[in-house]
Structure 1
Amino acid sequence: MHKAGTLMNSYTAVGVLQACAELSLLKLGMEIHASLLKYNREFGIYEGNALAVMYAKCGRMGEALRIFGEMGEKDNVSWNSVLSGYVQNGLYEEAIGFFYEMLESGFKPDQVSVISIASALGRLRNLLIGREVHAYAIKQGFDSDLQVGNTVMDMYTKCFHVIYAERVFHQMPAKDYISWTTVIACYAQNSCHMKALEMFREVQKGGMEVDSMMIGSVLQACSGLECLSLLKQIHCYTIRHGLLDLVLQNTIIDVYGECGKVDHAFQVFERIENKDVVSWTSMITCCVHNGLLNKCLSLFTDMRNDNVEPDSVALVSILAATAGLSSLVKGKEIHGHLIRRSLITDGSVSSSLVDMYAQCGNIENSFKIFDRARCKDLVLWTTMISACGMHGRGKDSIELFREMQEMGLIPDHITFLALLYACSHSGLVNEGKHYLETMTSEYGLEPWPEHYACVVDLLGRSGRMEEAYKFIKSMPIEPTTAVWCALLGACRVHLNHKLGEVAAEKLLELEPENPGNYVLVSNIFASMGKWKDVEMVRTRMQERGLRKDPACSWIEVGNKVHAFVARDTSHADSVAIYTMLDEIMQRLEMDGGYVEDTRFVLHDVREEEKKRLLHGHSERLAIAFGLIQTPEGTAIRITKNLRVCGDCHEFTKLVSKLFDREIVVRDANRFHHFRGGSCSCNGFW
């Protein structure tokens, strides 16, 4: 038509602009705009509205607002075009401001206006104004409109107000599958998992249409319940009804992972023909969730070999795996990848990097990442506070907490948990008690069992056993296993046998199927010399089919991780390792005055056998290997899955002095930085 020389009229311009808006053809839309200006035509209301919609849908809200301002005549379509444009572009605060401007100008919001503003308020979780908009919709009779009802229900869902959403649903005169999908999502997202499943059964009974979005919410409910049988039923349902698209397959991988069924997740993953970045991320996250950290790293390699570029979410999962493995080499590699991809500014990425470096024993790099972060949110502050705590820098944690408060950030339960943990591992008793009080009195946060466990641990580590026991008895909630576990560990360190027996009894009563509890109880009896009780506990473990995790230590040299168990002889350099251990022992006995403390051997054997058992502890093998394989003067970094025993702690202090090495040991409790014959923990571990 243009080539034929026929001039466009109002209908032509509006029609083409609508097409440009739907297809996001900004360049062509601007050409139409220029053409209208060229012929010096005054915009009618229809062309102005079409231009505003086109610019808004192409993400150019500035131009849309300019067109709106230049329009001589405006109707509800004009106002709604700009209002919905703000919402579509995620400018929710601006949408609210524009809505008030609309009211002040005398325009009466219609159903479309209510739908747009309710959508914005839901995303902002602004319940107060949301209720006002809902009240307006009721007064104007808009609440009977299906779309308005669905949007208001979704708004209440995002504001975590289940009762209001439920009420809207039941009062709707007509419901479509979107209504049912929204109410099921409301229940699933607000932990009303059984109600979500009941609603889904109602949908099935009514023979209504079911789509993949509804199934996604049902899967979320299965995840919340961690119910494998239900998950399998829904999985089969999606296959039978042909609903199993890529999004659902990825979600099913996630849920199988959350239910602890990694093999099922892998079966779904392997059947996906065209895996996207979400598929790979879901499988990697599944492995992280279930402790298969080495598998995460191999999946990451496979992902890149499959030419799938990882995004920030995938890289955060990989950082969690490298942190769990204390693999500093791999962590630095991922950090480099993030820098090259310019993803370092992402808030969750910064927090993950801080945590990764802290978990790998390099807290100096954690501070560098933290200091360089442009926008420090609560998660990043909490991660840094936690990092200092695990490295025994409790005073630094407190200073960070004070700085965070000065920035105006409000601490949550997790922040206080990290802070109390830091106080516990630095022996800051008065500070720990103060912050537990601050948590309730200043911030109105009810402590979790974990907070109480931290305080018990803090008092116990400091030798204030009776005070710790009185604190437990004064707790407003029933003490959990974590609380009794903290007390039991302190009883073993301070040889308080009476309270140790009380804690042991409570621990086995609360969690009779946890093998770790039996090991703790067995150890406390062994430290008392009650070998018959030790045998009784071990027999109970065998009868229940429970097994203790063997002690294991590992060290990363180059690009390879070398793992050792107690008295290990399977390593290729085993002969050299034991030769080095013998040399270390000779030097320690001659120059360091080292004498084995056999109290830490919890077996009823002769003294010489106890010494032999101590000499074969896994962390000593890793230290000897590190001395052989790493250049003089470099730090040796070791990770152990269990707590370092007192004798190995003393042994490592002396080795750090005699060989002039920094030795960083991460055990099940915390980090130990050994330098010049002393340790950063100062005896608190």
Structure 2
Amino acid sequence: MQGRQPAASPSTALHAAILKCGSEVNIQHNALLVMYTKCGHVYSALRVFREINEKDYISWNSMLSCYVQNSLYAEAIKFIAEMFQGGFQPDNACIVSLCSAVGHLGWLINGREVHAYAIKKLLDTDTQVGNTLMDMYMKCQYTEYSTHVFERMRIKDHISWTTIITCYARSSQHFEALEKFREARKEGIKVDPMMIGSIIEACSGLKTSLLAKQLHSFAIRNDLLDLVLKNRILDIYGQCGEVYHSLRMFETVEEKDIVTWTSMINCYANSGLLNEAVALFAEMQNTDIQPDSVALVSILGAVADLSSLAKGKEVHGFLIRRNFLMEGATVSSLVDMYSGCGSMSNALKVFNGAKCKDVVLWTAMINAAGMHGYGKQAIDLFKRMVETGVAPDHVSFLALLYACSHSKLVDEGKCYLDMMETMYRLEPWQEHYACVVDLLGRSGKTEDAYEFIKSMPLEPKSVVWCALLGACRIHKTHELAMVAADKLLELEPDNPGNYVLVSNIFAEMGKWSNAKEVKAKISERGLRKDPACSWIEIGNNVHTFTARDHTHRDAERIHLKLAEITEKLRKEGGYIEDTRFVLHDVSEEEKVDVLHRHSERLAIAFGLISTHPGTPLRITKNLRVCGDCHEFTKLASKLFEREIVVRDANRFHHFRAGSCSCGDFW
């Protein structure tokens, strides 16, 4: 019995009907070309094109447009050669399609060839051609040529003005973008949501919420607020740190799409409101909106910063259930999330399970190894990456140098900086130099670190001097510390953390009046220092503690448990408080009390009373762990037979059986 034939698609059925009519009129073939293009059937469109005996301009341009509209840009550029062989010279429509293809590929040389042809044939002054030429140069990151095209255009429409504004904004020429917007207004150009969206990109670069508010008001007055523009404004408010205004905009959007939700999640995450970001993601799952890969990457970043392993596993489970492809940004974010939550074993599982490992994924794994103090493993990963034919980039070397600096691999770090410059021809950033300064300085070679800074081909910025100052503090190189401190405060006078670091240097030197004077500048300048805090995840809840915290609902039990722990460590572990780490001009007794109330100790105490024996404790702290708390946690891991994983501002510490993975080098 003969099997049934599959039903024909509407497009093929229509094609068959035309063939039955026996007509060979070009207009019908051209219409078929357009139909197959819109349906994404490139092969069928090409077959129709080949069947046309007498091809006209519409035929050639329709086939060229078919390649471009279906993202086959390289094929479109190859096709133009066939067009010349067929005796047809590109016209306006052809130039527009070619510019689009070249722009998407970023092929500047080919783009200039297309532009030269347009000039030769006097096509470049056509408004539509000019607009696409500007867009092409913008995508090729060649702003000067976009400006040149714009100035040559005889007639400029609102798309022309919008394109040149976008071009300036995306090339970080924000004030030029604003000036063009003013010119467009003077010329009487109609302002539409797309133009407002373009000028808002300049607000993003300038980080000015005042301008964003003015544009928001303009859009309201002129009834320009469509969903796309609302999402852009919400996102810009978030980038400017205006959480309240982002939330107000979010609440006014009636028909929220995935971009609306993702922008608000990003706003919370970038403002440090990590619990709010995670809660909003959970709320989104109760709607009809389905998270896409962009939203999931955003929430994985928030989970990593929050160090919430349970929530990270929930998101990973969601990815698996919805059959998301484990590739690209998604798999790299999963590696970052697991390593950020202290689970290197899960990070490795995700990494090893990825079929296609690009430079971003390799770098994420190298960075994870470095964060956890596994410098040798980071180097092995780097070597494996190179052996597989993946070329390292700036970020790869930054992750590698970071790993070397946290594992005291001095010679290796210097070797890889040299390799970066000589073998891969990559010019180091300030951050690369800072890693080497940190590596030399924290290894005790502070003078060598200073000489290295003086030999830098770039003028050292604050990140470099901060690395030297941190090393000088550890090794008590106070005279050199003052040199670094002066440079740091000169370069970043509005960073409160710098004043705290310099004040601590003075305190360690016993210069209490100088320390108080430097700290006073924080309030004088209207700056705000983030208080030291630690948090621990118990079940599905994250509990946060600050120093001397009594706000937790179990505060009394926590403090009693902490006193019990401290007493046990003294009696059985030989613990003696090292008050050198208390940088306050108070009595010895008060210094001991300050140490007992450090936030990570409160988190450890709460973890011990809230979990079963043997359960690992995972704690995150927003500042560097002090030496006394480090010793305290080592002893606690031994006497209470717990693995305690602590993530501080610098790295991870895995405490097991009385020792730490950092080898007391952090």
TM-score by length of 1: 0.92
Q: Is the 8 A contact 2:73 2:102 kept in 1?
A: yes
User: Which one of the candidate residues 516, 531, 541 is aligned to 1:560?
Assistant: 541
Q: Aligned partner of 1:370: which letter?
A: F
Check if 1:303 corresponds to 2:284.
Answer: yes
- Per-residue CA deviation, residues 431-472 of structure 1 (Å, 9 max, x unaligned), is 211222222223333322222211111111100011011112
| Greater CA drift, 597-606 or 26-35 | 26-35
Check if 1:570 corresponds to 2:551.
Answer: yes
CA distance in 2, matches of 1:148, 1:260: 39
Check if 1:392 corresponds to 2:373.
Answer: yes
User: Which one of the candidate residues 446, 450, 453 is aligned to 1:469?
Assistant: 450
CA distance in 2, matches of 1:403, 1:104: 48
- Per-residue CA deviation, residues 231-271 of structure 1 (Å, 9 max, x unaligned), is 22221221222211111111011111112211122222222
Partner of 1:146: 127
Q: Which runs of 5+ in 2 are unaligned?
A: 1-7
Question: How does 1:256-267 map onto structure 2 within 5 Å?
Answer: 256-267=237-248
Question: How does 1:194-233 map onto structure 2 within 5 Å?
Answer: 194-233=175-214
Partner of 2:47: 66
Partner of 1:361: 342
Partner of 2:70: 89
CA distance in 2, matches of 1:245, 1:373: 40
Q: Aligned partner of 2:524: which letter?
A: E
CA distance in 1, matches of 2:634, 2:305: 25
Q: Aligned partner of 1:278: which letter?
A: V
User: Which one of the candidate residues 405, 409, 414 is aligned to 2:386?
Assistant: 405
Partner of 1:415: 396
Distance 1:54 1:402, change over 3 A: same
Partner of 2:441: 460
| Greater CA drift, 178-187 or 439-448 | 439-448
User: Which one of the candidate residues 344, 355, 362 is aligned to 1:374?
Assistant: 355
Q: Is the 8 A contact 2:327 2:354 kept in 1?
A: no
Check if 1:125 corresponds to 2:118.
Answer: no
Question: How does 1:230-629 map onto structure 2 within 5 Å?
Answer: 230-629=211-610
CA distance in 1, matches of 2:201, 2:613: 53
How many angstroms does 1:642 deviate by? 0.9
Check if 1:48 corresponds to 2:9.
Answer: no
Partner of 1:174: 155
How many angstroms does 1:513 deviate by? 2.8
Q: Aligned partner of 1:146: which letter?
A: T
User: Which one of the candidate residues 7, 13, 19 is aligned to 1:37?
Assistant: 19
- Per-residue CA deviation, residues 273-312 of structure 1 (Å, 9 max, x unaligned), is 2222211111111122221212212222332334322222
Q: Aligned partner of 1:450: which letter?
A: E
Check if 1:634 corresponds to 2:615.
Answer: yes
Q: What SS does the aligned partner of 1:562 have?
A: strand
How many angstroms does 1:105 deviate by? 4.0
Q: What SS does the aligned partner of 1:144 have?
A: coil
Q: Aligned partner of 1:32: which letter?
A: L
| Greater CA drift, 544-553 or 161-170 | 544-553
Partner of 2:638: 657
Q: Aligned partner of 2:372: which letter?
A: H
Q: What SS does the aligned partner of 2:537 have?
A: strand
Partner of 1:4: none
CA distance in 1, matches of 2:155, 2:631: 74
Q: Aligned partner of 1:296: which letter?
A: A
- Per-residue CA deviation, residues 301-353 of structure 1 (Å, 9 max, x unaligned), is 33233432222212221111111111111111111112222224351111211
Partner of 1:21: none
Distance 1:539 1:194, change over 3 A: closer
Distance 1:577 1:474, change over 3 A: same
Partner of 2:3: none
Q: Is the 8 A contact 2:174 2:202 kept in 1?
A: yes
Q: Is the 8 A contact 2:488 2:498 kept in 1?
A: yes
Q: What SS does the aligned partner of 1:661 have?
A: coil
Q: Aligned partner of 1:660: which letter?
A: E
CA distance in 1, matches of 2:187, 2:427: 44
Q: What SS does the aligned partner of 1:564 have?
A: strand
CA distance in 1, matches of 2:331, 2:653: 24
Partner of 1:193: 174
Q: Aligned partner of 2:116: which letter?
A: A
CA distance in 1, matches of 2:36, 2:421: 50
Partner of 1:163: 144
Q: Aligned partner of 2:13: which letter?
A: E
Moved over 4 A (4+): none
How many angstroms does 1:428 deviate by? 1.2
Q: What SS does the aligned partner of 2:664 have?
A: coil
How many angstroms does 1:42 deviate by? 5.4
How many angstroms does 1:596 deviate by? 1.9
Q: Aligned partner of 1:133: which letter?
A: V
| Greater CA drift, 473-482 or 190-199 | 473-482
How many angstroms does 1:373 deviate by? 2.0
CA distance in 2, matches of 1:90, 1:370: 30
CA distance in 2, matches of 1:199, 1:432: 47
How many angstroms does 1:216 deviate by? 1.0
Distance 1:546 1:251, change over 3 A: closer
CA distance in 2, matches of 1:298, 1:69: 56
Partner of 1:7: none
CA distance in 2, matches of 1:604, 1:210: 62
CA distance in 1, matches of 2:90, 2:268: 50
Distance 1:628 1:112, change over 3 A: same
CA distance in 2, matches of 1:43, 1:342: 47
Partner of 2:4: none
How many angstroms does 1:547 deviate by? 4.2
Percent identity, aligned pairs only, is 63
| Greater CA drift, 628-637 or 319-328 | 628-637
Distance 1:430 1:83, change over 3 A: same
- Per-residue CA deviation, residues 562-590 of structure 1 (Å, 9 max, x unaligned), is 11222323323333333333333333233
Q: Is the 8 A contact 2:547 2:598 kept in 1?
A: yes
| Greater CA drift, 254-263 or 304-313 | 304-313
Q: Aligned partner of 2:54: which letter?
A: E
